[in-house]
Amino acid sequence: MTVRELRTLTGLTQAAFSKKYHIPKRTLENWEGGQRSPSETILYLLERAVKEDYKMKAKMDKTTKLYKDVFGIKENHENVNKFMKAIIINFGDERGDIIVENDNFGTRRKYADFTEGKKKAGLHPGQIVFSGIESAKILHERYIDKDGNVQTF
């Protein structure tokens, strides 16, 4: 795939794509405009990153549909990045409470994102740690608020 095809797959603008994947905007413009080309290694790594992100989005969309169809719960992330610094999960095993940071805390993004937080916590990237406020209320999930206090939905 070309860099332009990868960016098109994400649906991001050049500015958003360059920021997300840490590519200088001018470099991205040159690659897409044909003035320069990324090395095969860079293109391979970029393709892997974009495809992994694309798979995660597809998984998130399936999860949203599952919660709606099976449980009748509409996923709600409204303002979650303003107040939820991390989610606290417990699998009921020897690990006890696991704190998973919200990568989007303090941003204006619509959804919480725990990709890096799951890595830091040693969890599998596909592990679902937060499915929305409504299901969190039903399950009495706990989170860490912006002031570092433990709260319950």
Q: What CATH number corresponds to the domain at position 41?
A: 1.10.260
State the chain's mean pLDDT as an integer. 87
Distance CA(71)–CA(18), nearest Å, equals 38
Distance CA(68)–CA(57), nearest Å, equals 17
* Residue 34, pLDDT score: 94
The tokens for 117 are: 């937080």
Distance CA(62)–CA(126), nearest Å, equals 12
Query: 94 and 135: one domain?
Result: yes
pLDDT at residue 93 is higher than 90:
no
* Residue 31, pLDDT score: 96
**What is the maximum alpha-carbon separation in the chain?**
55
- Global pTM value: 0.55
Query: 94 and 143: one domain?
Result: yes
* Listed residues 49, 71, 93: the one ending a domain: 71
* Residue 65, pLDDT score: 72
* Residue 67, pLDDT score: 65
Range of the domain at 145: 80-152
Query: 115 and 146: one domain?
Result: yes
Which amino acid is it at 5?
E
Residue 146 pairs in a beta bridge with: none
Query: 100 and 133: one domain?
Result: yes
Say which residue, 104 or 65, is predicted with more confidence.
104
Average pLDDT over residues 2-23: 90
* Residue 60, pLDDT score: 66
* Residue 51, pLDDT score: 85
Query: 36 and 67: one domain?
Result: yes
Total count of domains within the chain = 2
Average pLDDT over residues 45-58: 82
* Residue 98, pLDDT score: 94
Q: Which residue is associated with the tokens 């299901």?
A: 135
Residue 87 pairs in a beta bridge with: 100, 143
